[in-house]
Chain A
Amino acid sequence: MARTLKLDLDCCVNAGECYYNHPRLFAMEDDGAPRLLLTSIETDDDLREAEEAIEVCPSGAISLE
């Protein structure tokens, strides 16, 4: 079943770990904030990358629902 990838920009510190490590899922805005490129997580590869991004995010701004 597809899951939804979410970003909490209020809690994000612009660390950049998500978009440097997972450019397929996240992109960098000019101000350093991340933007979601993919919200619906369907394949195993997507899920693995999403979980890795959650793991490396220092502010806990990324979640899967």
Chain B
Amino acid sequence: MATAEDKMREFLRRQIDPREFDAPAFQKDPFPLYKRLRDDHPVYHDRFHNRWVVSRYWDVDSVFQSSEAYTRGIYEEDGPYEFGSKHVFGPNILEYGVGDRHRWLRNIIAGQFVGQKLNDFLPVIDMIARELIARLGTGSDGKGGFELVTEFSTQFPIRVISNMLGLPREDEDRFVDWYQALIAGLGFGGEHLARGIAARNEMWEYLEPLIEKRRKEPGEDLLSRIIAAELDGKRMSMEEIKGFVALLLAAGGDTTDKAIANMWYHMLYTRPDQFAAVQKDPELWSNVFTEMMRYDPVVHMQQRRATQEIAMHDEVIPKGAIVLIYLGAGNRDERVFKDPDTFDIFRDDLHMGRENRSGRYKDGKPGHLGFGMGQHFCMGYAMARQEAVIACTHLSNALVNPRPKVEDHPGISSPSIDSGGFRSPQELWIEFDRKAEGW
């Protein structure tokens, strides 16, 4: 029979030290802690950081879906805070959080990234991928090698968005620089934040005359569409337009560039056997994207604030509490996915096609949580998928026998999962025999 001491020992064995969230080991490999959270503390009260953590698939789903019980907004919409003054992007929908204003701004832009309007921009995506591939150097013997992150993936989405917006091509490199400063300013304070805001201001100064010009002479580009977009007879203000451009460059660029690097990492290092199948049938890159978004997505965590008391499992989350949604943990929930720690592009228990906001699919299979769901579902989901799949398909078609340059790779990591640090490999060196005919 278990003695009181045994019970105490068992209780202590299951405890989580909240400082584990800050440890480098967690930033490198968060999955063991995720499993302990799911198994022993499905609702974990982190008293050290003063927050609550949910980690199981269906709990993550329920927090995302319950927009009455949780809010994304950090501030009250009608409060005394001036939106955007402390944010690297300026006033933007990430900060508005909720309400009619948020819905209005979101709908103006979300419609540009789906359906026919997205299709209009596919030639741009195709063109940028081809340009970047053409730049990859080869030796006199035709052989080549390159570092994917700096030479391809971080170059790609930012140039696509810059072109979609209709910004001058000769200034593309400046946007790449501003973009990198904005991103660094997101997750960290201090010097990074100061540089991020400086880059934002520089970029805004650059953009203002361009916006004025488009107002007078609109074109077919995305910037003109944003300026002209109306809902209920209202248009966006200059500040809102500039905030939106900053948001698009950063949010649309960073996540997609890291997605591309993650997809290649998993093909080269995690599942070289499945990479062989993908090279034979490049349409499988779509599955690679989906499984990457489940197995180890770029974004692992989203944050909400409880607007009422919430009873979940045997805990009660108090009104006003900060709730961390570890979608990266929900994606590995063994209650939902078989062998959740295996990367498998052929899994039959995951919805493999395009994502949607409800997270409910007609094939009856659960989807990955990598784009979130519900009210604040990623509005660039369709475009991110298109960009990542087109870039990876072109690259694998263009390279003959692409392979890792080094056998050992330190793997995917994040500077800080907790504070907006996105997960990706720092470097990914690839070698190939030659470029295929026509590339």
Contact = CB atoms under 8 A, between A and B. Distances in A.
Contact of A52 (B107, B358, B362): B107
B374 A58 contact: no
The B contact surface, by secondary structure, is loop
Interface in A2-52: 13-17, 19-21, 28, 30-33, 48, 52
Nearest to B376: A20
B358 A15 contact: yes
A50 to B, nearest CB: 14
A33 B359 CA distance: 11
A5 B110 CA distance: 23
B103 A21 contact: yes
Given A13-B356, A14-B356, A56 B110 contact: yes
B356 A15 contact: yes
A28 B356 CA distance: 13
Interface in B366-397: 374-375, 377
B14 interface: no
A43 B377 CA distance: 30
Contacts of A16: 356-358, 360, 374, 377
A6 B419 CA distance: 44
B346 interface: no
A52 B361 CA distance: 23
A30 B115 CA distance: 26
B94 interface: no
Contacts of A30: 360
Contacts, number: 44
B379 to A, nearest CB: 11
Contacts of A20: 67, 357, 374-375, 377
Interface residues of B, number: 20
Nearest to A48: B232
Contacts of B189: none
Nearest to A22: B103
A31 B374 contact: no
Nearest to B353: A13
B358 A14 contact: yes
Interface in B221-272: 231-232
A14 B115 CA distance: 15
Contacts of A31: 360
B24 interface: no
A29 B357 CA distance: 13
B336 interface: no
A48 to B, nearest CB: 7
Contacts of B361: 14, 32
B128 interface: no
B223 to A, nearest CB: 21
Given A14-B361, A16-B356, A32-B359, A56 B374 contact: no
A32 B361 CA distance: 7
Contact of B360 (A14, A21, A56): A14
B219 interface: no
B114 interface: yes
Interface in B60-81: 65, 67
Highest count of chain A CB atoms <10 Å: which of B111, B357, B359, B375: B357
Contacts of A56: 107, 110-111
8 contacts: A16-B357, A16-B360, A21-B103, A33-B360, A55-B111, A56-B111, A58-B114, A58-B115
Interface of B: 65, 67, 103, 107, 110-111, 114-115, 231-232, 356-362, 374-375, 377
Interface of A: 13-17, 19-21, 28, 30-33, 48, 52, 55-56, 58
